[in-house]
A = this chain, B = another copy of it.
Amino acid sequence: MTRPLLTDARRPLTFSIDAMNELGELVPTRIAGEHPLTIYVDNRELVTLMTLGGAPEALTIGYLRNQRLVGSIDEIAAVQVDWEVNAVAVRTRSGQGIAPERVEKRTVTTGCGQGTVFGDLMDELDRVRLTTDRRLDQATLYATLDSVRLHESIYKQAGAVHGCALARAGEILMFVEDVGRHNAVDAIAGQMWLDDLDGDDKLFYTTGRLTSEMVIKAAQMGIPFLVSRSGLTQMGFELACQVGITMIGRAQGKHYLLFTGEERFDR
């Protein structure tokens, strides 16, 4: 299959405004961009995402992938972003849009935090089998954390974003920041489809918390290692146990907590 036709429509990622501090001084302050991006599939409006705009094409593809609205990258003929109208036009190869039953299912169960297509994802998780052949050692984990630190450009300038990275053997393959952490994950999922990468030998890093949704998405991408700077929730923990992912939190500098999947980890 040929790759979909793509625009390359990154937006400027930070802006500057003047704020006033507690001393009454004007402080020039960098802020993260945030733009509505309405997805149309074969001319039919699907959803509006709020995004930093750093990887809008990959985000669109990843959103369709992670919401299970498209079954494979081969179904997508074109993804064309037009910021003049804050819209992205997706053309499918069939020209038939999203199958109604797929949109229907999403309707009933999608909220945000509220963000999970819950029932279906749970069913799917039962079928996920993560590789047991790969291992991660402490030195590689530290190297990954060190590389992440060097990539966080928007967060350092403006805060108010979450970052996600896809890494292999301590090296960062992709790094995406966005105002929504779901968006950052989705953009990586989209880019993995575009680059035809599977998750087997990868580590997924997020600055955000290890909630149920984060574990579900990592597992669906087939990634056996999930690492975060933050903590975890009960359901994130339970799902990680269920799906057998190696999950590490509070990871920063030379500290971390290994929560699940120690059989893949060498200290």
In the assembled complex, which residues on chain B have CB atoms less than 8 Å from the CB atom of A110? 47, 110-112
The answer to whether B211 touches A22, judged by C-beta atoms less than 8 angstroms apart, is no
Choose one: B19, B109, B112, B119; the contact of A258 (CB below 8 Å). B19
Choose one: B50, B213, B231, B249; the contact of A213 (CB below 8 Å). B50
Choose one: B22, B108, B233; the contact of A46 (CB below 8 Å). B108
- Give Cα A257 to B254, complex, Å: 33
The answer to whether B259 touches A17, judged by C-beta atoms less than 8 angstroms apart, is yes
A256 smallest CB distance to B (angstroms): 6
- Give Cα A33 to B238, complex, Å: 11
In the assembled complex, which residues on chain B have CB atoms less than 8 Å from the CB atom of A232? 31, 160
A64 smallest CB distance to B (angstroms): 11
- Give Cα A145 to B259, complex, Å: 33
The answer to whether B31 touches A209, judged by C-beta atoms less than 8 angstroms apart, is no
A142, closest chain B residue (CB): B22
The answer to whether A114 touches B112, judged by C-beta atoms less than 8 angstroms apart, is yes
Can you offer 23 A-B residue contacts whose CB atoms are under 8 A? A20-B257, A20-B262, A31-B231, A31-B237, A34-B236, A36-B118, A36-B212, A46-B108, A47-B111, A47-B114, A49-B113, A49-B114, A50-B115, A103-B107, A110-B111, A110-B112, A112-B112, A112-B113, A114-B115, A159-B209, A160-B210, A160-B230, A179-B211
Residues of A in contact, count (CB < 8 Å): 70
A208, closest chain B residue (CB): B160
Main secondary structure of the interface of A (DSSP, over half): mixed
- Give Cα A235 to B237, complex, Å: 34
Contact indicator per residue, chain A 1-33, by CB within 8 Å of chain B (1) or not (0): 000000000000001010111101001010111
Is A48 interfacial (CB 8 A cutoff)? yes
- Give Cα A240 to B230, complex, Å: 29
- Give Cα A178 to B47, complex, Å: 25
In the assembled complex, which residues on chain B have CB atoms less than 8 Å from the CB atom of A113? 49-51, 112, 115, 178-183
In the assembled complex, which residues on chain B have CB atoms less than 8 Å from the CB atom of A179? 113, 209, 211, 233
The answer to whether A160 touches B21, judged by C-beta atoms less than 8 angstroms apart, is no
In the assembled complex, which residues on chain B have CB atoms less than 8 Å from the CB atom of A127? none
Contact indicator per residue, chain A 206-223, by CB within 8 Å of chain B (1) or not (0): 000111110000000000
